[in-house]
């Protein structure tokens, strides 16, 4: 099951590489009209905070993704975001265990049984999805190099490679 950790680390590495290439926090926090004025920073924060929820809930076995802190530092300061992503990467590899995912709304709560490895996979897919949205913003930056595989699922990259052969 180590591969899910490796894939998560690789996805987070590709995100940090992109963020470090951005010219500054102004670009990182700039609204993108193609994303309904969302920013690269907001999408990065969202990725960070879902991983944080998982890691924070691991100890007691209860994860609630809706209880994100929504820390504006992560959406306005790319260096803080990169440093936090690196901290997350160092904590990711944990033994598998049963987790309860908690979803609350105005009608009460739902409790769904899952496990740590499944939630790592969920966070990986979620990360890639938001990278695809970040890529939309990156493509609007003149002369900014964006790797073809950024924001694309590993299975899609593998499929494309098979089609090219």
Domains assigned to the chain: 2-164 (1.20.120.450)
Q: pTM for the complete prediction? A: 0.92
**Residue carrying the six token digits 């504006």:** 72
Res 94: pLDDT: 96
Backbone angles phi, psi at 93, to 5 degrees: -75, 105
Q: Which residues of the chain have pLDDT under 70?
A: 1-2
Is residue 41 packed enough to be buried (19+ CB in 10 Å), middle (13-18) or exposed (0-12)?
A: buried
Res 164: pLDDT: 82
**Residue carrying the six token digits 């990278």:** 131
Looking only at the bridges linking them, the beta strands covering 62-63 and 98-105 are parallel
- Rounded Cα gap, residues 22 and 36, in angstroms: 20
Res 141: pLDDT: 92
Res 3: pLDDT: 86
């Amino acid at each position: 099951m180590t591969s899910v950790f490796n894939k998560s680390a690789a996805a987070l590495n590709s995100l940090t590489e992109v963020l470090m290439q951005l010219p500054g926090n102004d670009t990182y926090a700039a609204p993108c009209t193609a994303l309904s004025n969302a920013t690269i920073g907001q999408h990065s924060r969202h990725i960070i905070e879902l991983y944080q929820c998982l890691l924070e809930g691991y100890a007691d076995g209860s994860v609630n993704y809706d209880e994100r802190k929504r820390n504006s530092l992560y959406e306005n300061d790319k260096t803080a975001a990169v440093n936090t992503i690196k901290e997350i990467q160092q904590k990711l590899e944990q033994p598998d265990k049963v987790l309860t995912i908690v979803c609350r709304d105005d009608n009460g709560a739902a409790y769904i049984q899952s496990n740590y490895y499944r939630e790592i996979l969920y966070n990986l897919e979620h990360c890639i999805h938001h990278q695809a949205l970040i890529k939309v913003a990156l493509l609007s930056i003149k002369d900014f190099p964006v790797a073809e595989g950024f924001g694309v699922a590993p299975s899609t990259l593998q499929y494309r490679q098979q089609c090219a052969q």
